[in-house]
Amino acid sequence: MKANPKDVRTGVFYIDGDVAAAEGALAAGCKFLGGYPITPSTEAAEAFARRAPQVGAMFIQMEDELGSIATVMGASLSGQKAMTITSGPGFSLMMETIGFGAMLEIPFVIINIQRSGPSTGLPTRTGQADMMQARWGSHGEYEVITLSPDSPQESFDFTIKAFNLAEKYRAPVMLMSDECVGHMTEKVEIPEADKIDLEPRRLYKGPKDKYIPFKPDKDLVPPMVKAGEGYRLYLSPLSHDQRGHPLLSQKSTTRRIVDKIRLNADDIIETKEDGLDDAEVVVVSYGITSRVAYRAIEQARKSGIKVGIFRLITVWPFPDKRITELAKRVKGFVVPEINYGQIVFEVERCVHGNANVVLVPHGGGWVHNPDDILGAIKQIMKAKKRYEGIFEYKTELEKLIFGSGVQKK
């Protein structure tokens, strides 16, 4: 299915990541945004609000994030592609309802423009510290899909991708952007509508009386219907069987909700590899950090170190297999993150002790200094032995603040 020309603002624009995300949503046929203002995500909501009436979409600013995410659930069930836009604190408030969406397999998209935390933190500065929260934030067992753009162009493309994944797998999909990408203004090319492929909603085709809400197809994803079409839906967030009736066991639906992502992981996972064929050191990065990493890699290559980059486009589900493969033939992994270690734990897990893992931490507020990443790369090259656990590289900034006084874990 192709995008609707009415929705797509074809052309070349000079816009920031937030606006690009909003345009992407509209191009993907998103017709509903329930939002609440929070720095640094507001530009996206503003852009959507401006364009909404022109394409027959609805923007409503709710009284809080609890409300905005709940409206998204309703709108999606009534047949619209729906999303919400927020940042860390709002994201935390949405957690309960994210679990609800996962349980009822409601397709929806959350755009999280990350900022520095915890709590209010630095509202106007960047961060990447919500990555684990995106995966584990709500109670109980569920799986999500997250995408992580590093440029306004990608914010546009990945938002469309996000909606496609949401419709395909009927799962929560999160675009984990950050303040840097959100406020970075760059050239964004929006193609013609017929160049944009959209995943149509999996609508149920069979006879009305035969409809079973949670009866999965082969790929473990059940087709769905719209509200108000006389299917007599009964949807309850209690653990349920295929008919949606409460069932005192997690073995059926809840298990499938997890499996439908885990077993389809290979189709979902998308990564970008650069110069890995001869690499001795691999920089694993995602989002804005990968742009900084490229700089460090250039410098390292200049000085004759064989470095490659492994970029996570979909951070969740995590590309376990590929990392394990790589670990067998490289010296080590450098993981720069704008946090004090989240994805690095996943890398450590998949490496199985076959290579060194060096974390380049950053408290947030700004991006890494390429020299730190370079330093970490050199660190691995000169490492004689296998480290016990993750080696936390001491960044210039850290030295500046703490000297070498504070001992490491």
Partner 1 sequence: MKTNDKGVLTGTHNLSGNQACAEGALAAGCRFLSAYPIPPSIEVIERFTQRAKEVDAIFIQMEDEISVLAAVLGASWAGKKAMTVTSGPGLSLMMEHIGLGVMLETPCVIVNVQRCGPSEGIPNSPSQGDVMQARWGSHGDYEIIVIYPNSPQEMFTQTIEAFNLSEKYRTPVVILSDESLARMVEKVVIPPANKIILEPRKHYKGPKNKYLPFKYDKDLVPPMVNAGEGYKFHITGLTHDEKGYPVMNEECQELNVHRLVRKIRNYVDNITNIEEKNLSDAEIVVVSYGITSRTVDKALKQARKDGINVGSIRLITVWPFPDKEIMKLSKKVKAFIVPELNFGQILLEVQRCNYGNAKIRFVEYGHEEIQNSDPILNAIRSLTK
Partner 2 sequence: MKNVKHPMDFYLRMDRMPHIWCTGCGIGLTATAFVAAMEKAKLDTNKVCVVSGIGCTGRFAGYIKLDSFHTTHGRAIPFATGLKLANPELKVVVVSGDGDLISIGGNHFIHAARRNIDMVVICVNNFIYAMTGGQVAPTTPLTAYTTTSPYGNFEPPSNIPQIAESSGAVYVARWTALHIRRLTNSIFEALNKPGFTVVEVISPCAQYYSRINRLGDGLDMMKFYHENSQIKHWEPTDNLYIDYQKEIIVGKFVDRERPTYSESYKKWLAE
Partner 3 sequence: MKQHPILSALVNAIKISGVDKNKVCVASDIFYSPQEIEPLGFDFFQTPRGRPIPFGTGLKLGNPELKVVALTGDLSTLGGNHLVHAGRRNMELVTVCINNFVYPLEPGKESAKYMFSTYSNFERPFNIPHLGRSCGAVFVARWTALHTKELSTSVAKALNKPGFSVIEVISPGGNYFPGIDSLDEESNLIKYWYEHSEIKNGEDTMNLEIESGKEIIVGEFIERERPTFIDSYNARLSEIMGDKFVPYGGKSY
For residue 96, state whether it binds partner 2 (rule: CB under 8 A): no
Euclidean distance between CA atoms 365 and 372, whole angstroms: 16
Please give the residues from 375 up to 404 whose contact with partner 1 meets the rule CB under 8 A: 388-389, 397-398, 400-402
The count of chain residues that interact with partner 1, using the rule CB under 8 A, is 73
Q: Is 36 in the site for partner 2 (CB under 8 A)?
A: yes
**Maximum Cα–Cα distance across the chain:** 71
Q: Residue 219 CB: number of other CB atoms within 10 A?
A: 13
Angle at the Cα of 182 from the Cα atoms of 179 and 183, rounded to 5 degrees: 85
Q: What would the two tokens of residue 355 be?
A: 């290579």
Binding pattern for the stretch 225-244 against partner 1, x by CB under 8 A and - elsewhere: -----------xxxx-----
Among the listed residues 92, 242, 271, 299, the single contact to partner 1 using CB under 8 A: 92
290 is in the binding site of which of partner 3, partner 1, partner 2, none (Cβ under 5 to 8 A by kind)? none
Q: Which of residues 112-151 bind partner 2 (CB under 8 A)?
A: 119-120
Question: Does position 89 bind partner 2 by CB under 8 A?
Answer: yes
**Which amino acid, residue 226?**
K
Spatial CB neighbours of 229, under 8 Å, sequence gap ≥ 6: none
Each residue 218-247 as x (binds partner 3 by CB under 8 A) or -, in order, gives --------xxxxxxxxxxxxx----xxxx-
Distance CA 101, CA 327 (A): 36
- Using CB distances below 5 to 8 A depending on partner kind, what does residue 49 bind out of partner 3, partner 2, partner 1, none? partner 2
Q: Are 242 and 215 in contact (CB under 8 A)?
A: yes
Residue 32 DSSP SS3? strand
Q: Which residues pair with 34 in a beta bridge?
A: 60
User: Quick one: what does residue 348 bind among partner 1, partner 3, partner 2, none, with the CB cut-off 5 to 8 Å set by partner type?
Assistant: partner 1
Residue 42 binds what, of partner 2, partner 1, partner 3, none (CB under 5 to 8 Å, by partner type)? partner 2
Give, as ranges, the residues between 25 and 84 that touch partner 3 (CB under 8 A): 29, 31-32, 34, 53-56, 58, 60, 62-64, 66-68, 70-80, 82
Beta-bridge mates of residue 197: 2
Tokens 């492994």 identify what position? 310
Q: Is 53 in the site for partner 2 (CB under 8 A)?
A: yes
Residue 39 interacts, among partner 3, partner 2, partner 1, none and using kind-specific CB cut-offs from 5 to 8 Å, with partner 2
Distance separating alpha carbons of residues 125 and 153, to the nearest angstrom: 21
Residue span binding partner 2 (CB under 8 A) among the ranges 35-43, 71-79, 95-103, 373-381: 35-43
Cβ at position 399, least distance to partner 3 in Å = 47
User: How wide is the angle at C-alpha 226 spanned by C-alphas 256 and 4, nearest 5°?
Assistant: 105
Alpha helices in 244-287 (DSSP H): 253-262, 265-268
In the complex with partner 1, the residue whose CB is nearer, 24 or 99, is 99
Q: Rule CB under 8 A: which of 100-129 touch partner 1?
A: 100, 102-104, 114, 116-125, 127, 129
Q: What is the C-alpha separation between 284 and 343, in angstroms, rounded?
A: 9
